Amino acid sequence: MPEAGVRSDALAVQIFADLAQHESGNVVFSPASLEKVLCLLRQGARGATRAAFDALPMGREGVRSAMQVRSADALFADESLELQMRGGQVMRVAFAERPEEAVSTVNTWCKEQTEGRIPTVLSRADVSADTVLIAANAVYLREQWLHPFEPEETQPGVPFALPGGGTAEVEMMSCCDVFRYAEGADWQAVALFYRTDGREGEPGCFIGILPRGEARSFAQKMTANRFSAIRAALAAAPPQRILVELPKMRVQTPSFSLRRSLGAAGLQVAFAPGADFSGIGRSPRGELCLSDVLQRCMAELSEQETVAAAVTVATIKCCAIIPEPPLRLRFDRPFIWAIGDLTTEAPPYFLGLFERPEAE
């Protein structure tokens, strides 16, 4: 379990802040998809590796949502792996003998699960002869606004300020309706809800946070407690009439690695030789460790709806134990020496101080 004082859902914001620190351009990240894959890996982890997974401050599972989110898990196991764990669909591939075919199998699954929105997530370089398992999750949602934007109100060519100066033109949607709005000393926020159509569970919404200062700096300093405070302020805010102007948005990331972010969050042991994934299964090639965790995301906002999709894949490989380098003791300066034994009180046969070699 996470340490006392650490929010149980802090991992999402922690990794988001890390990505904002290290990635350039638009940042899109799916905590839900990542945590699904981490839960799959946790099943196969043992010992200190399992403890590292248990300590990750992940969000609560099983919260009932009125959003129509489709999530699917799959394991792509090498033919040589004696697979013991289970997690969604299991497909056998040959990473060493037919790597291109294995990559194609994973990418085809990702494309199918996301309605074509994420056509690929792996490249040939992401698998090797040591790869024995890929754990994957795909998330896809398509939700209609409770208060849609009218297309005729959308203004083309509206200047959008860029970081560092200059502007770009966007199509700016506009809607004047009743929304939940809150603000703090350095931020303003609005919650735009999606239709539930009578479905049970927590209503979903798009939360727009507009910092009064530089947005990337705000993101880099975001904490779970601060994000929770913004959400709580919106939840407590009485609905009021607000004119919301929001750009039509379409963002798609390339595949990006979460290895650094997960290592910073405390999961270094899973990536290192000596990781214990014995609960996954056995491979004749050696012990298993986590090679990388890749994610690819897209999101699109239009007048009527939001479409978003993400795929997360974790690659497991056989990881040779790298012996620690031997202690080096180099007698390249004056030293004392002795000839005798180690266990009796007899005087040594010789004791010496060697300061310099003598000429022959």
The pLDDT tens digits of the residues spanning 312-359 come to 999 999 876 555 577 777 777 786 666 666 776 776 666 667 767 766
Q: Indicate whether 230 pLDDT > 50.
A: yes
- Provide the strand spans (E) within 185-271: 187-193, 205-211, 240-247, 249-252, 256-257
Residue 279's contacts (CB-CB under 8 Å, 6 or more residues apart) are 43, 44, 45, 46, 50, 84, 85
168-202 pLDDT, tens per residue?
899 999 999 999 999 999 999 989 899 999 999 88
Architecture of domain 151-249: Roll (2.30)
Closest by CA to 299, choosing from 58, 16, 66, 27, is 27
Total residues belonging to the chain? 360
| Residues 70, 174: Cα–Cα separation, whole Å | 29
Global pTM reads: 0.87
245-291 pLDDT, tens per residue?
999 999 999 999 999 999 999 999 999 988 999 999 888 878 899 99
| Residues 79, 90: Cα–Cα separation, whole Å | 11
Q: What is the pLDDT of residue 352?
A: 67
- Answer for the pair 189, 236: CB distance below 8 angstroms, yes or no: no
Q: What is the pLDDT of residue 15?
A: 92
Q: Which CATH superfamily is domain 10-141+250-318 in?
A: Antithrombin, subunit I, domain 2 (3.30.497.10)
Q: Domain map of the chain by residue range?
A: 10-141+250-318, 151-249
130-155 pLDDT, tens per residue?
999 999 999 999 999 999 999 999 99
The two three-digit tokens of residue 79, written as one number: 């033919």
Q: What is the pLDDT of residue 148?
A: 96
